[in-house]
Amino acid sequence: MLMWATAVAFPVSLVAVGPLRDSSPSWLQSGAKLVAAISLFALVCLLEFSDGGTDRSHPAA
């Protein structure tokens, strides 16, 4: 559920910061930047967590 929420929030916030920058208020731009950063961090954390905890520093021989 969290992964789907961040997957939706990230592109929506990028659209608010990118192409709609001129027509959006300043509080929305700052909020969209914050949402983009938090959702990107959450996606990276979820991808790392879903790796299964395997240790790649010692590959199987």
Quick one: how far is CA 3 from the chain centroid? 9
Residue 4: the pLDDT is: 75
Distance CA 38, CA 48 (A): 15
Q: At which residue do the structure tokens 């990276």 appear?
A: 44
Structure tokens at 47: 């991808």
What's the rounded mean pLDDT across residues 9-15?
Answer: 78
The model carries a pTM of 0.60
Q: Which two tokens stand for residue 36?
A: 């983009």
pLDDT tens digit string along 36-56?
888 888 888 887 877 665 666
